[in-house]
Structure 1
Amino acid sequence: DTILKKEEAYNRSFDDFDYHKIAAYSKEKIESLYKAEGIIHNRLKINSIIVNAKAFLNVQEEFGSFNHYIWSFVDFKVIDHHYTDEKEIPASDALSTKISQDLKKRGFKFVGPVIIYSYLQAIGIYNDHLMDCEWR
């Protein structure tokens, strides 16, 4: 919620998350981010955005696209969980741990298993809608 409320400031500060631009940030641009209005001024997290943009480009170069890379972990098929109660949905699992470890090996930062599990839900690899959910 904290970050979502700061979305506009992050978009403005990080060039609408254009990873090509972010990967090429100069030292001066990076220094300006530490003082940018409306974002969290954690140096490690700010630096991780730049590091991750560079790592993202490397993955695209190696695999043709990040999409191909991430979906290859599930043989390009949705994992359709059949949960009936929200309490069944884990915060992380073996797959999110495996992807997290691979991303870290490739130089990504702040990509732990919980974040990756949420990402897998967001991009549709995991269908965690409850069985009685209208969006299922």
Structure 2
Amino acid sequence: MVKRCRWVSDSQDEKMVAYHDQEFGQPVFDDDRLLFELLTLELFQSGLSWKTVLNKRENFKRAFADFDVEKVATFDNQDVERLLADSGIIRNRMKIDATINNAKQIQRLQNEGKSFSELVWQPTNGQTLQIGVGANEHVPSQTDLSVDFSKKLKKLGFKFVGPVTMESFLEAVGVENAHDLDCAFR
């Protein structure tokens, strides 16, 4: 039997296991679309379970134009109303507004000749930090890195990017390796 992180080891949910085994903690470089997708999913997860969001992932992709930054940045009030009526996603106006705003901020970076990927990986110079924990320890809900990154994003105009959400995001995209120390996927 393959040893996985505690948060997924007892899961019978195929999507959770597949996400853990194939995506979680895999470094995402030079792919602003995927980074935007994971940022969006993490902000929608705030206050909910990851399983809830993951099970709605395909609906989110459809609703948010496959996370095409340029398209989402043009969403208007009519799109917001469409999203609020979409039972396939989490219908939270603040999170929907934050997603559209965040697309605009990523687009602004790109228009300035930068990428969201550069911004994400700048604090670690493109290196993955090892923060995994042992069997009797807990992964912190936030770190100095996630606090600083949250502040930086807020200063740039991003929304719904608190330190706990950013900790989950940094772990998801591989900036921090938070797999348990005994996880086969570490």
Using the TM superposition, give the Cα deviation of residue 43 of structure 1 relative to its aligned residue in structure 2, in angstroms: 1.2
- Deviation of 1:84 after TM superposition, in Å, equals 2.0
Q: Does residue 30 of the first structure (1) align with residue 84 of the second (2)? A: no
Q: Does 1:58 align with 2:108?
A: yes
CA distance in 1, matches of 2:97, 2:86: 14
Aligned residue number for residue 115 of structure 1: 165
Conserved 8 A contact 1:100-1:113: yes
Cα displacement (A) at 1:38: 1.6
Instruction: List per-residue Cα deviations over 1:73-129 (Å, max 9, x = no partner).
Output: 112222123532362410101110000011111111111111111111111111122
Contact kept, 8 Å, 1:93 with 1:117, in 2: the verdict is yes
Any conservation in 2 of the 1:86–1:130 contact (CA below 8 Å)? Answer: no
Deviation at 1:65, TM superposition (A): 1.2
Q: Which has the higher contact order (CA 8 A, sep 6+)?
A: 2
Q: 2:119 aligns with which of 69, 76, 97?
A: 69
Is contact 2:132-2:139 (8 Å) kept? no
Moved more, 36-45 or 12-21: 36-45
Hey, what's the Cα distance between the residues in 2 that align with 1:88 and 1:26?
41
User: 5+ residue gaps in structure 2?
Assistant: 1-50
* Aligned counterparts of 1:41 and 1:79: Cα–Cα separation in 2: 34
Q: TM-score, normalised by structure 2?
A: 0.66
Q: 1:99 to 1:107 in 2, by over 3 A?
A: same
In the other structure, the counterpart of 1:134 is: 184
Secondary structure of 2:160's counterpart equals coil
Aligned twin of 2:42: none
Structure 2 counterpart of 1:100, from 117, 139, 150: 150
Cα RMSD between the aligned structures?
A: 1.8
Q: What TM-score, normalized to structure 1?
A: 0.88
**What is the Cα deviation at residue 63 of structure 1?**
5.8
Give the count of matched residue pairs.
136
Counterpart CA distance in 2 for 1:37 and 1:115 is 23
